[in-house]
């Protein structure tokens, strides 16, 4: 598709200019309107302009009309006092969604190839990658990666998006580093805890072990054994205790006999000395035997009472004397071991919690790795199905290559030739290149560019600054 008519009126600094379908070079000094022609064409195709003022000073309306050899017409009017007007027709019929329709007719490189040669390497790469035709949207990203990363610029082409995703400067890579650091730290904590926990530690057993019941049983056994020991000691001292009781009885009786004997002697002596008290003394003397019997009976009663208590205690002792003490060494060992094992429970629980967290962190790290690796492998899959407009075009690590060389490594002439190849990559597109500022090119490269456009059947509209005070149109 080539233009057959271009008519510009009151746009930018142009009063009125008309071109036919031939390739032209517009020459003249700065300010004569050469670039205004290029800018007007860009405005017609994109509805965008870098200039603040589009309508020529003093006018209310500016217009550009483009007609092509395929029956396409583009009529765009910029107005200062009413709404803008645009009409895009194909064979006399209005085109639906005209702006989107126009975007399909050209590539950005067609509109400013000279500017392309002056871009930095990153900008050139982006411009070339943008040429890849691959249908994708945010649903594609979400389906592939399970999320739509917020730190990615989605105004880029899909290969740049994927390159940023897998980049070492990307958030996934940094997050994976953070997670892996946490994994190493938790592994170190777990190993530090595990070294103090016995091998084959049975946490469930020691969590449910009733240490209080074991202590109670141990104390019962110890009390049982203590009673046996006390019973045996008590039994072995029975005879000596009985002898003591008998001795206490005899001593008590002897003391009483001695006291009575002394009293008798005193009374007999008193009888002799006190005849007047004989009868009273004799009466008293007569009662002494009864009193002695009472004393004897009391002593006997105390003896019997004590002996009865002793025998009762002995019967209790007899109950345990013949019993065998229970060996509690194993239970004692079990209780001590249980105490030791229970002391590990908190640390064991902490270790198990960390192990669970560790598994979650490993899963996170694996997911980041999956996403990063997917972002690395997807470009290859995309390039297998994507429509690539340039012969010899490949992508390596997000860098576009032309016949194995980065675009930035191509000579100026090769880069301009690449722009022509791009222009003809859309057979049904607009076969026109806008070349502003060819004075920036060497004469050799300028002539090669014009020749290749003619060779490939590409219409070009170029500008070149000269000393002429008027804009001159040279058909080439």
CATH superfamily entry for domain 3-106+426-475: P-loop containing nucleotide triphosphate hydrolases (3.40.50.300)
| Predicted TM-score (pTM) of this structure | 0.54
* Lowest mean per-residue pLDDT among 98-102, 194-198, 241-245: 241-245
Q: What is the 3-state secondary structure (H, E, C) of the chain?
A: CCEEEEEEEEECCEEEEEEECCCEEEEECCCCCHHHHHHHHHHHHHCCCCCCCCECCCCCEEEEEEEECCCEEEEEEEECCCCCEEEEEECCEECCCHHHHHHCCCCHHHHCHHHHHHCCHHHHHHHHHCCCECCCCHHHHHHHHCCCCCCCCCCCCHHHHHHHHHCCCCHHHHHHHHHHHHHHHHHHHHHHHHCCCCCCCCHHHHHHCCHHHHHHHHHHHHHHHHHHHHHHHHHHCHHHHHHHHHHHHHHHHHHHHHHHHHHHHHHHHHHHHCHHHHHHHHHHHHHHHHHHHHHHHHHHHHHHHHHHHHHHHHHHHHHHHCCCCCCCHHHHHHHHHHHHHHCCHHHHHHHHHHHHHHHHHHHHHHHHHHHHHHHHHHHHHHHHHCECCCCCEEEECCEEEECCEEHHHCCHHHHHHHHHHHHCCCCCCCCEEEECCHHHCCHHHHHHHHHHHHHHCCEEEEEEECCCCCCEEEEC
Q: How confident is the model at residue 457, as a pLDDT?
A: 86
Please say if the pLDDT value at position 198 is more than 80. Answer: yes
Report, as an integer, the average pLDDT of 402-430: 79
**Average pLDDT of the segment spanning 8-25:** 90
List pLDDT tens digits, range 121-169.
877 777 777 777 778 889 999 999 999 999 999 878 888 888 889 889 9
Q: Which residue has the higher pLDDT, 153 or 420?
A: 153
Q: Which has the closest alpha carbon to 350: 177, 215, 196, 212?
A: 196
Q: Is the pLDDT of residue 342 over 80?
A: yes
pLDDT band at 333 (very low <50, low <70, confident <90, very high): very high
What would the mean pLDDT of 307-334 be, rounded to a whole number?
A: 85
Q: What integer pLDDT is reported at residue 440 of this predicted model?
A: 86
What pLDDT, on the 0 to 100 scale, is given for residue 66?
A: 92
Res 449 pLDDT > 70:
yes
At residue 280, does pLDDT exceed 70? no
pLDDT at 377: 86
Q: Which pLDDT value is given to residue 277?
A: 65
Specify the pLDDT at position 389.
66
For 36, the token pair is 């205004």
Q: Nearest to residue 459, comparing CAs of 97, 21, 148, 10?
A: 21
pLDDT of residue 401: 81
Average pLDDT over residues 231-246: 81
Report the pLDDT averaged over residues 370-381.
87
Residues contacting residue 230 through CB under 8 Å, at least 6 positions apart: 317, 320
Reported confidence tier of residue 88, pLDDT bands at 50, 70, 90: very high
How far apart are the C-alpha atoms of 255 and 263, rounded to whole Å? 12
Instruction: Please compute the mean of the pLDDT values over residues 299-308 and round it to a whole number.
Output: 87
Give the range with max mean pLDDT: 65-74, 279-288, 375-384, 423-432: 65-74
290-303 confidence digits (pLDDT tens):
888 888 888 888 88
Q: In this structure, are residues 137 and 459 in contact, taking their beta carbons and an 8 Å threshold?
A: no
């Amino acid at each position: 598709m080539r233009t057959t008519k271009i008519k510009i009126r009151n746009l930018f600094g142009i009063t009125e200019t008309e071109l036919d379908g031939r390739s032209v070079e517009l020459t003249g000094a700065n300010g004569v309107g050469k670039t205004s022609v290029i800018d007007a064409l860009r405005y017609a195709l994109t509805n965008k302009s870098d200039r603040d003022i589009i309508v020529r000073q003093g006018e209310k309306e500016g217009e550009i009309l483009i007609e092509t050899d395929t029956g396409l017409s583009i009529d765009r009017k910029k107005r200062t006092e009413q709404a803008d007007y645009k009409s895009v027709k194909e064979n006399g019929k209005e085109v639906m969604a005209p702006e989107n329709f126009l975007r399909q007719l050209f590539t950005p490189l067609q509109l400013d190839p000279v500017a392309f040669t002056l871009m930095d390497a990153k900008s050139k790469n982006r411009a070339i990658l943008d040429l890849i035709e691959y249908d994708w949207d945010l649903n594609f990203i979400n389906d592939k990666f399970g999320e739509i990363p917020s730190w990615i610029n989605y105004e880029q082409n899909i290969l740049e998006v994927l390159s940023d995703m897998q980049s070492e400067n990307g958030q996934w890579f940094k997050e994976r580093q953070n997670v892996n650091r946490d994994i190493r730290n938790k592994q170190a904590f777990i190993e530090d805890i595990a070294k103090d926990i016995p091998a084959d530690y049975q946490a469930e057993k020691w969590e449910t072990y009733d240490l209080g019941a074991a202590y109670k049983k141990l104390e019962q056994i110890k009390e049982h054994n203590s009673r046996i020991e006390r019973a045996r000691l008590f039994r072995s001292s029975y005879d000596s205790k009985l002898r003591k009781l008998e001795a206490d009885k005899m001593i008590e009786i002897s003391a009483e006999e001695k006291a009575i004997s002394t009293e008798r002697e005193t009374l007999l002596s008193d009888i002799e000395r006190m005849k007047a008290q004989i009868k009273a003394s004799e009466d008293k003397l007569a009662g002494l035997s009864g009193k002695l019997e009472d004393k004897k009976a009391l002593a006997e009663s105390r003896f019997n009472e004590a002996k009865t208590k002793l025998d009762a205690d002995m019967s209790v002792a007899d109950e345990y004397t013949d019993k065998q003490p229970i060996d509690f060494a194993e239970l004692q060992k079990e209780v001590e071991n249980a105490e030791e094992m229970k002391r590990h429970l908190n640390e064991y629980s902490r270790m198990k919690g960390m192990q669970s967290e560790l598994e979650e962190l490993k899963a996170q790290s694996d997911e980041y790795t999956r996403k990063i690796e997917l972002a690395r492998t997807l470009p290859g899959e995309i390039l297998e199905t994507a429509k690539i407009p340039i012969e010899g075009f490949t992508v390596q690590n997000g860098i576009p290559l032309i016949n194995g060389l980065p675009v930035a490594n191509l000579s100026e002439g090769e880069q301009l030739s690449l722009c022509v190849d791009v222009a003809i990559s859309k057979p049904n597109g607009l076969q026109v290149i806008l070349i502003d500022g060819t004075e920036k090119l060497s004469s050799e490269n300028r002539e090669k560019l014009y020749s290749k456009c003619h060779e490939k059947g590409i219409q070009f509209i170029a500008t070149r600054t000269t000393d002429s005070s008027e804009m001159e149109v040279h058909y080439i």
